Structure 1
Amino acid sequence: MTERDEEQRVQEAVRPHVRTSAFAEAEQVISALLADPTFVRALYKRDFTTVFTMAHDAGISYNRIAEACALKSERVSQIARGTATVTALAPVERISGGLRIPGALLRLAAQPWEDTAAHSTKSHHGDDPMKRRNLLRGALAAGLTAPALATLTAARTDVDQTLSPDMPQDLADLEAAAESYGYGYHGQQPTRVLADLVTDFTTLRPLLAVPQPAPVRARLCRTAGQMAGMTAIVLHDLGSRKESRAWFATAARAAAESGDVQLHAWVLAREAMVPLNYGAPKAAAGLAERARHAAGHRPTAAATLAAAVAARAYALNHQSEQARAALEAADALMDRLPEDERSDTWLTYGEQKHHVHLSHAFTTLGDTRLAHVSQQRAMELSAPTSTMTRTLLNIDAAACSHHDGDTEQACRRTVAALTALPVDYRTGLVRRRALDLYEAIPAQHHRERAVRELRDVVAS
């Protein structure tokens, strides 16, 4: 063997150890960077100039990046300086694997190493609840941006893919967490609730991935259905319709697998509120009727909610006879609803929630007298921290003013309601409801000052 052959043999023997060291060092630094919104945005844009520069500034040399990603050191330096780019799929996948970046953040499918890491005791950031929580908060800091939605999608599909085989143990904490989230925002920003909720949701994955007795799996699927459904509610409130529907689909799968018919009906009824609130009342009525059929005729929270949502959908679709029939059914169910299903949570159906639905239904039907009765009662029952609900009730009241002929007052009340909101709340459902009022105002009034102010606030 020549001296050159011997040198090559030594280098090949050493290289795996160098690669292992490079992987470990990269994984530790990147795990911390994934909580930085700037880094997450750069990943989603595949802006590797920023990615490599931030990794270098955080302590990984360009040589280590090159070793971990199987790239030439010179090319890594060029990319970091912005004189070269990465566009081909193969090097993007090598960067994902080398730096242990989840595929979803680079707009890739889940990478093979992600499944291995999920079952490893030395797992990547996603298996550490605190690190995952920080990652989600970082990604959501700028709102429902594309990188943030990619992070949410990765969390949802991680559990969604495990909902067919078998399941787990010790559910008390997860069931208690689901119950606590059911009480809503409590004055917290929706994006913060979303990050915490999804973090706890992902802890179900290892429990869902192993065989368990049927009763335990049913409880786990029920909890998964509740948490996925509540995540969908927050996304709906924030205006992310597509993502909301995807989470409702996961919730429906989990609910169906749990065997809980009322939970499945609840998911369908809540899902109906997405098209209901975003301009597709016919689709909403179809989903609501499916929910009513699933819930049956017993007085349950799901059955009552489904009837109320159906009434709103029919009212928006100008089917007043069907709307009033559904309202009568909802009132009859509400009168017979057991006390344990009347609490004020997302998962139950209390008097406050009932009047919120009635307010919108009667407002849409133009029955402003009954609408005002429900608005007043819902306000009395709403906590001061129910920011979004109280704003929607104020917009309903403003819409009643428009129905009664005082369009100027309607615009001023809506502008006041919107400007009183923190910026994070002036999106999604609240904005959509205000826009509905503006679009209901005849075009000949659009030059009036109050109407222009409403248009400008909605547009901003």
Structure 2
Amino acid sequence: MPDPDRPQELPARLLTDPEMIDACRVRDFARVFRLVKVRAGIYPSMIARRCDLTPSRVGEVIAGRRHLQHMDVIERISDGLRIPGDMLGLARRAWETPQALVVDEREAPQTREPEQQAPASLPGPDVDSILALATRTSLNKATLEAFRSSIEDYWRRDDQHGGEALRPAIVGQLRYVVGLLKESRPPSIQNGLYGIAAELARLTGWTYFDARQYNQARAYFTEALQLAKEIDDRQFMANVLACMSLQATYQDKPADSLALVTAAQDQARAALGSTPRVMSMLAMREAFAHATLGNRDDTHRAIGEAHSQFEQIGASDPDPSWVTYFDEPKLIVDTGIAHGRLGEAATAEPLIADALRREHHTNQRGRAFHSFWLARTQLDQGKLDQACHTATQALEPASAVASERVSGHLREFYEQLAPHRQEPVALAFEARLRELLPPVSGSLHP
């Protein structure tokens, strides 16, 4: 007989419901418990047993008479109700990494534990489980294309609004696809699923990186590497390593950044049919690493290689979808940023300004991010009025996208204004910054 207290997955429709996402984000456990009861049929007495709480304590929480703030209690709630750690502001929980990812496929298959069933006092299997079962019997190439289309849509929405609100849905889809990998399927379908899972894991890592939650980002990037390695997709492994290289520059680990991008280039060269666009993107990431290290000659060499590879791009090149963002404006702005990182502001400014004029209006994060870099190069040249005007223009798109990476850059720009803090243009920028990007604790000082 199944154990009714054993943790079971919450319905995907609950984990992706905006009300549940918001309740978890602010740790409003009164709402969380009510939603779990109504939407998943898990009653207060069961919540208490699963989360190692007393029934009276759960009742007080639901009634609004008690608030749960201790980290160990929040972790027990995450584990007991199977709420992904990121939804509650926690590190990724151990149960979120499926064992299938760490078992060599050549090993004898493990005996699977029986699926958790709802206790007799509750309704039967939820609709999500029924639909998932039906999907598993009819996976085909069209299904894989539907998954890929949803990933492309996630990326578009991430550019426009940031990934914070998308992340629970992305993680839910990742866990669902990884679950599908446990079953035996034709190689073409199975390999496609591995590729999709790898893309979802990289996208999740990116949303954490953009939020400056670097440990979680690294965990998901590592998972993406493992999934891509299963199907020997060296180009995608190169892409993930390039993401990790960029993160290392943000963590002030330039030597790690260079090592990671060098490994990415090695993977791409070992892959069959790596395209010039892929190699151009990787060369530009190498330029970032060298610039952060202050290696002027190596930075210029890598920039030259990026442009040389880009000139070889052909209309019929079989570029993977994840690199198509790297177009001419992106090459130009990244070239400017590399020069900016190296301290060559006069060279960087016109390049970034040109690319920014061509930035698509829907890419809110890109417009804000590149405006910051333009403002920084202007400030480095002593153009205070221009720099403050440019930085002020960055605030509008920055406030429209949930990106702590971009917000952090603009707060850093404010700190760089310290010698000019009493100038009217600096005061105007500060007022607008406080209005559109409310300060985090200790980030702005009057």
TM-score (norm 2): 0.70
Contact in 2 for aligned 1:360/1:396 (Cα 8 Å) = yes
Please tell me whether residue 332 in structure 1 is matched to residue 302 in structure 2: no
**In the TM superposition, what is the alpha-carbon distance from 1:181 to its structure 2 partner?**
2.8
| Partner of residue 394, structure 1 | 371
Please tell me whether residue 266 in structure 1 is matched to residue 206 in structure 2: no
> 272-281 or 260-269: which moved more?
272-281
Question: For the structure 1 residues 67 and 239, does the alpha-carbon distance in structure 2 shift closer, same or farther, using more than 3 Å as the test?
Answer: closer
Please tell me whether residue 170 in structure 1 is matched to residue 140 in structure 2: yes
* Alignment partners' CA distance in 2, 1:171 and 1:276: 38
Tell me which amino acid in the other structure corresponds to 1:181: I
User: Residue 404 of structure 1 is aligned with which of 373, 378, 381?
Assistant: 381
User: Residue 97 of structure 2 is aligned with which of 139, 157, 166?
Assistant: 157
> 398-407 or 249-258: which moved more?
398-407
Q: Give the count of matched residue pairs.
A: 391
Tell me which amino acid in the other structure corresponds to 2:382: G
Q: Deviation string for 1:227-257 (max 9, x for gaps)?
A: 2112222322232222211111111111111
| Partner of residue 100, structure 1 | none
Please tell me whether residue 181 in structure 1 is matched to residue 151 in structure 2: yes
| Partner of residue 392, structure 2 | 415
**In the TM superposition, what is the alpha-carbon distance from 1:367 to its structure 2 partner?**
3.6
- State the secondary structure of the residue aligned to 2:398: coil
Q: Aligned ranges for residues 17-32 of structure 1 at < 5 Å?
A: none
| Partner of residue 308, structure 1 | 284
Q: Deviation string for 1:406-440 (max 9, x for gaps)?
A: 13431332133114533543x42212333454455
**In the TM superposition, what is the alpha-carbon distance from 1:343 to its structure 2 partner?**
7.5
Contact in 2 for aligned 1:217/1:258 (Cα 8 Å) = no
| Partner of residue 218, structure 1 | 191
* Alignment partners' CA distance in 2, 1:244 and 1:153: 14
Q: Deviation string for 1:268-293 (max 9, x for gaps)?
A: 01221112234333322221111112
Q: Aligned ranges for residues 352-371 of structure 1 at < 5 Å?
A: 352-371=329-348
Contact in 1 for aligned 2:367/2:397 (Cα 8 Å) = no
- State the secondary structure of the residue aligned to 1:273: helix
Tell me which amino acid in the other structure corresponds to 1:325: R
Contact in 1 for aligned 2:275/2:319 (Cα 8 Å) = no
Q: Which has the larger radius of gyration?
A: 1
User: Residue 147 of structure 1 is aligned with which of 69, 84, 88?
Assistant: 88
| Partner of residue 275, structure 1 | 248
Contact in 2 for aligned 1:198/1:231 (Cα 8 Å) = yes
Tell me which amino acid in the other structure corresponds to 1:157: T
Question: For the structure 1 residues 444 and 300, does the alpha-carbon distance in structure 2 shift closer, same or farther, using more than 3 Å as the test?
Answer: same
Please tell me whether residue 106 in structure 1 is matched to residue 74 in structure 2: no
> 414-423 or 253-262: which moved more?
414-423
Question: For the structure 1 residues 360 and 28, does the alpha-carbon distance in structure 2 shift closer, same or farther, using more than 3 Å as the test?
Answer: closer
- State the secondary structure of the residue aligned to 2:323: coil
* Alignment partners' CA distance in 2, 1:371 and 1:87: 47
Tell me which amino acid in the other structure corresponds to 2:215: K
User: Residue 175 of structure 2 is aligned with which of 202, 208, 211?
Assistant: 202
Tell me which amino acid in the other structure corresponds to 1:77: S
Structure 1, unaligned stretches of length 5 or more? 1-15, 93-102, 115-134, 140-144
Please tell me whether residue 240 in structure 1 is matched to residue 213 in structure 2: yes
**In the TM superposition, what is the alpha-carbon distance from 1:41 to its structure 2 partner?**
5.8
* Alignment partners' CA distance in 2, 1:89 and 1:196: 24
Q: Deviation string for 1:62-110 (max 9, x for gaps)?
A: xx64478569xx95236524799999999x8xxxxxxxxxx977243x8
* Alignment partners' CA distance in 1, 2:217 and 2:70: 32
Q: Which has the higher helix share?
A: 1
* Alignment partners' CA distance in 2, 1:89 and 1:381: 46
Structure 2, unaligned stretches of length 5 or more? 110-135, 441-446
* Alignment partners' CA distance in 1, 2:390 and 2:227: 42
RMSD: 4.7
Question: For the structure 1 residues 76 and 207, does the alpha-carbon distance in structure 2 shift closer, same or farther, using more than 3 Å as the test?
Answer: closer
Contact in 2 for aligned 1:225/1:255 (Cα 8 Å) = yes
Contact in 2 for aligned 1:343/1:350 (Cα 8 Å) = no
Tell me which amino acid in the other structure corresponds to 1:222: G
- State the secondary structure of the residue aligned to 1:209: coil
**In the TM superposition, what is the alpha-carbon distance from 1:339 to its structure 2 partner?**
3.1
Tell me which amino acid in the other structure corresponds to 2:244: E
- State the secondary structure of the residue aligned to 2:261: helix
> 52-61 or 342-351: which moved more?
52-61
Q: Deviation string for 1:292-323 (max 9, x for gaps)?
A: 12212854443222210110121122111111
Tell me which amino acid in the other structure corresponds to 1:352: P
Contact in 1 for aligned 2:346/2:381 (Cα 8 Å) = no
